[in-house]
Structures are given as structure tokens and as C-alpha cells.
Amino acid sequence: MKSKLNIGLIGAGRIGKVHGETIAFRVPEASLIAVTDPDAATAQAVAQRCGIPRVCATADEIFADKSIDAVLICSSTNTHADLAIQAALAGKHIFCEKPIDHTLEKIDLALETVTRHKVKMQVGFNRRFDANFARVREAIVSGEIGTPHLIHIISRDPGPPPISYVKVSGGMFLDMTIHDFDMARFLIGDEVTEVYASAGVRVDPEIGKAGDVDTAVILLRFANGVIGTIDNCRQAPYGYDQRVEVLGSKGSIATENVYPNRALVSTAESVRRDLPLNFFMERYLDSFEKELRAFVEAVLADKPTPVTAADGRVPVVMALAAKKSYLEGRPVKLSEVAAEASLETVSR
């Protein structure tokens, strides 16, 4: 068994920089061998910061390097599936940021290629590795709160992304809510069968002009009877709002936001505390480390990855169903989306 995993980083933007720094400074079982990004200056900056010896002009150079065992795909979403396919063909193990693609046809092609070439693939649903959410999962699995009845997930960003990003993101359901879709099925431990989405533009009219929404509530129905809600907004002026509550037959469990400190300021006028950590780079720093450690360990020890390629597919089905529900103003069963995807594939 190899003692160290050699990794190539594809994409050096916001999440690429986070993962690059995590591998470089917090995961000694892995080494970053090369990095590439369409913006050469961005790639060079990450290379310098993380001590990466090679800056490649294209991902092809990384795939051709036989010393590289695995790749981190952190590029724009529209490139994920193609890069995963190329990586599998090159025999590289894959850590891919979510979503794998915006279409099920492309995702299925990537998954088939990964399976056929017997490489490991993990999808970047880092919230599964957060200590707070892991405790919620533990309370459900152990029966500590009894049989779950209701789950409520709150996920609100401190501010909306640039409109240029919104236009290529695939929409809020595929870009933002996808984490919450994964969290819902992970925490409850069962599959969602139906979604009903109500959404609108409450934060920025330009988001609406770009064909997207910025505020939504989504109702989930699970196969085991659990009812869930997801509450999303692109803007929470007080910071990054990430909470979960599950009600069960024996009790409930809830998580609060994470703060930079535990101090309370008490005066004659008010009792207050500092605002929560402002965005995902701060809030989920430990979970990013844990997910990458899990990936590296899975490859080195030849174990299954904890978040499989199939786990990456289901939330996309949920997101597509939510979009369909919003546009048609009705509940949508996930089986409808799967059937439509099959018909589209056959028609081609």
C-alpha cells in the first residue's frame, strides 16, 4: 500500500483554493503534484501558496502524468462530468465537487465510465462531515430521539453570488439547495420520493432576469413517511445561516449556527453576541479537511469512498424535480424526472 497519495488539482478558484490549502497544510497523507486553471495567474498563486511544484496549462497534462494517482475536480460545474470521464480513462481516482453535472444523461455517462475503469469517485458533499450534523445523524441512527417524524433544514447565504455566476450555476436548486437535498437523505437515511417547491425572487431582481430564484421553501416526502422542509435564501444579512432540526417520537435534536466565539455581551440595553461565521470557507473548514482525509484514506487503503458517485446523482434528481415543481406549481415525484431522463436518452 502506498504511504502517500499524489494529487493533481483541477481548478484553482474559490473552492479549489480551499481544497488546495487543506491538502497542503492539513492532510499529510497526500501531496499536491500539479495544478491547472484557465486563469494561469490564479493557478500560479495557489501553487505558490500551497507549494505545488507544477503549474499545468491544461488538465490533459495532469491526466498524462503517471506519478499522479488522483485528481480534485474543482473547476466550473459544466466541466465536471467531462473531466471525471477523462480522469477515469486515465486511471486516476476522482474527488469531484458537486454537482457532477446539470443533466442526468451526462452524470450517468460519467458514472458508467468510472465503474468500468474501476477508479474510486467521491463527491464533495462536505456537510456530511460536519460534527454538528454528524451528531444529528447519530441521534437518528441510534434511536435516541425515536422514529423521526419531521426534519427542517435552514440554509441561507450571507449574500447572493454575482449575476455572472448565477447565469452558469444551473439555478439555485442545483447550485445551493443541492447540499440540503443531500443532507436530508443523509440525516434521515432514506430516499425522498416527492418534492413540492415554492420559490420567488425576493433579494435581487437581476437574479430573476437571469432566469433564477433566490428564495424558496421545499417540501419533501420520504419513502418511510418522514416529512421534511428546506428553507433557502440567497441573503441573510446577519451571516451564514446553517441549522437543522429533527423531531422524533422520543424527542428532538437541533443544531445552531457556528460563531467565532462563545462570548455574550450584556448591557443595560441588550444581551448580544457576535454574528455567526460569515460563509462556507469559515463555517465548514473542519468538514473540508475530514472529507478529503476520507477520500485519501479510501484510495490508499482501497476502501469504498464515504460519498459515492451514486450519492452525487440523487440530489441532482431532487433538484430537477424541485425546478419542475416550481415551474408547474405542483408536487413532483422523483420517478417522473427519472422517467423523463430515460425518454430523452432513448430519443437521442
Three-state DSSP class for residue 167: helix
Residue 104 has pLDDT above 50, yes or no: yes
Q: Mean pLDDT across the stretch 93-99? A: 97
| 249: three-class secondary structure by DSSP | coil
The Cα 72–Cα 112 span in angstroms is 19
Indicate the domain borders of the chain: 5-119, 128-279+314-337
pLDDT at 334 over 80: yes
Sign of CA dihedral 251, 256, 261, 265: negative
CATH architecture under which domain 5-119 falls? 3-Layer(aba) Sandwich (3.40)
> Mean of the pLDDT values across residues 218-240?
97
Q: Which pLDDT does position 29 carry in this prediction?
A: 97
What's the CA gap between 81 and 125, in Å, rounded? 16
Q: Does the domain spanning 128-279+314-337 belong to CATH 3.30.70.20?
A: no
The contacts of residue 324 (CB under 8 Å, 6+ apart) are 332, 336, 337
Whole-number pLDDT of residue 3: 84
Beta strands in 212-308 (DSSP E): 215-222, 227-233, 241-248, 252-255, 265-266, 271-272
Enumerate residues 6+ apart whose C-beta is below 8 A from 160. 166, 203, 204, 207, 214, 234, 235
Whether the pLDDT of residue 343 is over 80: the answer is no
Instruction: Using the predicted structure, report yes or no on whether residue 348 has a pLDDT greater than 50.
Output: no
Q: Is pTM, for the whole model, over 0.85? A: yes
Whether pLDDT at 346 is above 90: no
Q: Which residues contact 274 (CB under 8 A, 6 or more apart)?
A: 259, 260, 261, 263
Query: Is the pLDDT assigned to residue 347 strictly greater than 90?
Result: no
pLDDT of 275-298, one tens digit each?
999 888 888 999 999 999 999 999
3-state helix/strand/coil string of 134-154? HHHHHHHHCCCCCCEEEEEEE
CA distance 65 to 253: 48
Mean pLDDT of 313-337: 97
Q: How far apart are CA 148 and CA 164, in angstroms?
A: 40
